[in-house]
Structure formats: structure tokens, C-alpha cells
Structure 1
Amino acid sequence: MAAASKKPFRLHIGVFLAPAVLVYTAVMILPLFGTLQLSLFRSIEQVQTFVGFDNFRTLFGDPNWSFNFWNALKNNVWFFIIHMLVQNPIGVMLAALLSSPKLRFTAFYRTAIFIPTILSFVIVGFAWKLILSPIWGVAPDLLGMVGLKSLFTPWLGKEEYALTALSLISVWQFVGIPMMLIYAALLSIPEEVIEAAECDGVTGWSQFWKIKLPLILPAIGIISILTFVGNFNAFDLIYTAQGALAGPNYSTDILGTFLYRAFFGFQLQVGDPNMGATIATMMFLIILIGVCFYLFLVQRRLRRYQF
């Protein structure tokens, strides 16, 4: 009986999974362990020598390294906060509007909002740099058309505004992703739940806040952790718009650009692969801590809202 009840091993599952596992291992897992290993070595007389955690002591103890690291981390946190407070709430509101059965041309609106997400970072960075240029940009004229030209300032050229401006540009480009994910979550709510709410007289925005929003909290949680991981891996937009030096005066420097300069070098700065790997390891640990916090604390509380 025991032999008869034993489930047969399904070999075809392993066959189908093997190519994806091999590619993921070659592209992601092996480079990750290689980076972790490189962070524990240092080039001494052109020979890679094991130094343990000395590179981390240098990163946090040497003022030349620690100042740039904490500055980049602070900017990265602000970059993430802007996305959490602006991008995701706007995405939720847009999804709520597009899910309304009374709204016409929803397919057109969804496409128009989502199109920027498929554009190249290079195109977005250079296009917005031209738009916001005080010399040949169209932003001053557009603000002048509505009587707000006095508010214009070279946002990308001022330390106090540059990072926020780039964060909002990134929000404009990627707001379509949370919008579509929340839109799909709203469509998956059972019709019986909506009909019961309508029978109780809960309609319109009241229905969204009291019924729909609690039911899509798990989707909002997933979007939040994806935003966290994406923002702490960010690099392309800052590099395209402000260059590797992340000007002005490193005010837009984030961990990705700091890693790039440390690993590959820039202008007169010589690259140090070991210190670059150390910074990459710190980025990995920050992301790992954030993901674990979500999985073990936040997700457990959100399970009660799943249906």
C-alpha cells in the first residue's frame, strides 16, 4: 500500500526547469558569489590577496570613502521615498479611475500612461534634460503660457532640486507599472463582493476606500517591495542625465553611480574592483534586509486581506 500511494517522480518538471535554472545560475548566482568573494580580497603588488573585512573597514572608516557612501545612501533613500509617496499613490488612483465602468477610452489611457515604461533610459534622460534646459528647453515657455514662468528654475542644475527633479522624472516614466498591477488586482476582485457592497449602499469612492482598497493591499505590498528593490538598484537615469559624477556636486549621487565610479573609475579616478565589489555587497545586503523585512513582517499581516 505504501508503494502504491507513493507519488511518482515527474522527470519532465526538472527537464523544463533546467534551462531557466542554468541560465539564472550563470547570469545571477555565480556573479553574485564572485562579487562577494572579490570584496574580501585586495590587489597587493598586482596579486589578489585575502584581506577579510578590511575593505569594509575602509569603506566605513576612511573619510574619502565613507563620506561618499553615506551621501549616496542618503540620496538613494530620498529617491525611494519620492517613489513611494508619489509614484505608488498615483498608480493606485489611476488604476481606480481606469477600473470604473463609466469611464470611456480606458484602453487608450492605459496605453498612453504605460508607454513611457518601455522607453530607453537614454531617451528619457536626454529628453527631459532638453525639456528642463533654461537655454533651449520648452519648460519655461510652457510655464509662461499658464502664467507660472516665475516658478521656473534650472532644477537639474541646483543641488537642492536636482535629485527630486530626477526622482519625479523616474516617477513619470514608471508610474504605469504600479497602475497596471493595481488595475489587474482590482479586476480580480469577485463580482459577488462588489454586488454585496452595492446592496448595502456602498458605491463610488466610498466603495473603493472601504471595500476594494483593503482587498488590494497584498498587491500594494508587492509593488512596494518591487519599488524598493528597483530604486536601490537604480543607475541608468542618473547616469544619463547627470553623468557618472552625479552632479551638481554629487547631489544626485546614488549607490549605483557610486559603485560605477568605484569599480570602473572615472576621469582621473582609477577604478578599484575590490572596493567596487564591497559597495555592491553593501547594496545586496541593504536590499536583502528590506526584502526579508517585507517577507517576514509585512506579508504575514497582509495575508488576512487575501481572498
Structure 2
Amino acid sequence: MKNGTDTKISRHHVHGPLSGAVAAVTISPVTVVAPPGELRFLHSKKTGMYLQKKRFPWHIAIFLAPAVIIYSMFSALPLLDTLRLGFYTSNDAGVHSFVGLANYHTILFDSDWSKAFWNAMLNNLKFFGIHMLLQNPIGLLLATLFSLKGLRGARTYRTLIFLPTLLSVVIIGFIWQLILSPLWGVGEGLMTHVGLGDYFAPWLGQESSALLTLGLISVWQYVGIPMMLIYAALLAVPEEVLEAAYAEGASSFRIFWQIKLPLILPTLGLVTILTFVANFNAFDLIYSVKGALAGPNYSTDILGTFFYRTFFGYQAQIGSPTMGAAVATLMFLVILLGVASYFYFVQRKLTRYEL
């Protein structure tokens, strides 16, 4: 073929006597190797050149189809139906009628609904703040300690710290109720034994301390997750970089601050996103310890428990699936806005180091 320059095209079989051998196509000066049947060439009359065309990878689509179908049935379709249901209201007969954004206006601005919603939102932000200020820094500290060479028993300590994350939240809530109960709990006795009995208080029963106490319980249970993620990131730091820094006389603190920390910033960002999403989806710990009313006096009410009461109802409150769907949609939008804001304002500005 001649089109300004001479290009040679040859097709032959390589490696193996079988009839389905791998095909090697040479288009000077490049050789393309592909399975038989994958490569097709189309001749362009306009340019006089041969264009490579690949078959659609049906085998990949076949393997992905079951996962896509299951995800669509149990995640995507219910989410879309929830978004749709939020635009409707239902009467006593269960007949739905379209009301547009009326449900959202009621939740955000109606005096009876907005107070409960914004209280749950504020408590959720506090719950998230507790984890950001305590869980993730403690996880970073523990991961840094366990990444040090020569620390005896590091594997055992890591296992013990990570173990609570494997337990059911219901079990965790029950255990801490047994510990902190002023009636039959063992916490008061333990504090009295070490001389701190005067400082014991029914922390789960006080409005001022109930949410903080539940946040600390959650931090105790899940601190192992950021610890392990950050620990894995620290182990991935190249040894030759650290050895060069030590050879230059850098202190351990300076190496951590100027070398290790910048290298694990993407992992810290991932931990932040996971913490945000998990906290704004939280429900089980509050429900197992304080019930659907999230007492005392709704002081531990978060978006998850507010959604539960709205959708299913509780005691004197009658459930409303349409209003519950609107609350669920608002929760989804809050999470989506938070994640998108992080990726737009923070993640893209993080310096990524390639060594």
C-alpha cells in the first residue's frame, strides 16, 4: 500500500501449532499481538489506509451482567423509586397523588417538621465531628506506632483494636449499656475501685452528654478501620526513601511530617470520605441504645433515626412512606453534596507523589 509512505501489513501465526494460535499483525514499524478473531481491518477508500477494528468484548459483558442485574435490582432501582416516591403523597386509602416539591417544603420549612429535621442534621454534624476529631487522629497515631520496626506485640495489639469492628452493633450497644447503666452497670464499681467513683454519672441519660457518649462508643468500635487503612499506606512508603532521609540525619518526627504524611494524604482523604458517609448513614447504634425516639428529649436524634420514625412511625407517630422517601432523598443529597464538595475543593488539590 502506498499513501505518502510505504506501510507493510502482514498477518501470520506465532507460538504454537494449534489452529487458534495468537495472531501477530505487523503494521510497520509497530507489531500488534492479539487473540484470533479480535482484530479486524477496514480499508478506507478516502485515505487509502487500513484501520484496525476490534470486536465488542461480549465475554466481558456476559461476566458483568449478573453483578449489574443484582446491583440494579437491589440498589439502583430502589434508590430511583425512593426519589420518585418523594414527589407523591398518599391518603388513608393508600392512593398516591403527585404533589411535586411539597413534601420537601414541609420538611424544611414547616414548623412541626423543620425543627425535628434540623435538630437531627445538627446532631449528625456533631456525631461526624466527634469521629473526625477523635477516631481518625487516634487511628493515625496507632498506625504510625505499629509501623515502627521493633515494636513487640504489634500484631496482637492491631488484632485487639480491630476486633470490635467485627462485632454486631447491637452487641456493642448492649455491652456498653451494661457498663454505663447507673442501676446495674459495672462502670460505677470499676471507677469506685480506682478512686474515681465521684465522677461517675448516667452519661447516656443526660441530654448534655448522651450524644458524646454514643460518639465515643462508636469511635471505640470503629477506630480499627482508619488504623488499618493508614497502616497499609505507611507500609507502602518506599524503604529507600526513608533510609536516605535517615542517612541525611533527619529525625523521626521530620521524616513523618515531611515524607510519610504527604505520601499518605490520599489515604487520609479516603478515610475522611468513608467517615462522612458512614456517619450520615448511621442508625443502628443510636437505635440499639436509645431506641427510635433517640432520647433523652431527641438529644441523640440523627438523620437515620428521624427517617425511621418518619417512614415506619413510632408509638403515637403514624408512618408516612412518602414523607420518609423525601427524608431519605434529603439524606442522599447531603451525602452526595458532601462527597462532591470534598473531591472538588480538597481531593484534586492534594499533591500526589510518585516515587
**TM above 0.5, one fold?**
yes
Write the mapping of 1:209-220 to structure 2, written as runs, cut at 5 A: 209-220=257-268
Structure 1 residue 305: deviation in Å? 4.0
Does residue 232 (structure 1) correspond to residue 276 (structure 2)? The answer is no
- Alignment partners' CA distance in 1, 2:193 and 2:245: 45
SS at match of 1:248: coil
- Structure 2 gaps, min length 5: 1-26, 28-40, 43-50
**Does the 8 Å CA contact 2:262/2:351 hold for their aligned counterparts?**
no
Task: Report the counterpart of residue 295 of structure 1 in structure 2.
Answer: 343
Task: Report the counterpart of residue 281 of structure 1 in structure 2.
Answer: 329
Structure with more of its chain in helix, by fraction: 1
Task: Report the counterpart of residue 76 of structure 2 in structure 1.
Answer: 29
Task: Report the counterpart of residue 244 of structure 1 in structure 2.
Answer: 292
Structure 1 residue 304: deviation in Å? 2.8
Structure with more of its chain in strand, by fraction: 2
**Does the 8 Å CA contact 2:124/2:302 hold for their aligned counterparts?**
yes
Does residue 129 (structure 1) correspond to residue 177 (structure 2)? The answer is yes
What is the TM-score with the length of structure 1 in the denominator?
0.96
Does residue 257 (structure 1) correspond to residue 305 (structure 2)? The answer is yes
Does residue 41 (structure 1) correspond to residue 88 (structure 2)? The answer is yes
**Does the 8 Å CA contact 1:39/1:281 hold for their aligned counterparts?**
yes
Task: Report the counterpart of residue 63 of structure 1 in structure 2.
Answer: 111
1:162 maps to which of 197, 202, 210: 210
- Structure 1 gaps, min length 5: none
Structure 1 residue 7: deviation in Å? 4.1
1:145-199 deviation per Cα after TM superposition (whole angstroms, max 9, x unaligned) = 3222221110000000000000000000000000000000001111121112111
The higher relative CO (CA closer than 8 Å, separation ≥ 6) is in 1
2:58 maps to which of 7, 11, 22: 11
Structure 1 residue 64: deviation in Å? 1.2
- Alignment partners' CA distance in 1, 2:92 and 2:135: 49
Task: Report the counterpart of residue 193 of structure 1 in structure 2.
Answer: 241
What is the TM-score with the length of structure 2 in the denominator?
0.84
SS at match of 2:352: helix
Distance verdict in 2 for CA 1:95–1:253, change over 3 Å: same
Q: Please tell me the residue identity of whatever aligns with 1:24.
A: Y
**Max Rg structure:** 2
**Does the 8 Å CA contact 1:39/1:277 hold for their aligned counterparts?**
yes
Distance verdict in 2 for CA 1:303–1:22, change over 3 Å: farther
Q: Please tell me the residue identity of whatever aligns with 2:318.
A: V
Structure 1 residue 294: deviation in Å? 1.6
1:177 maps to which of 217, 222, 225: 225
Identity in percent: 59
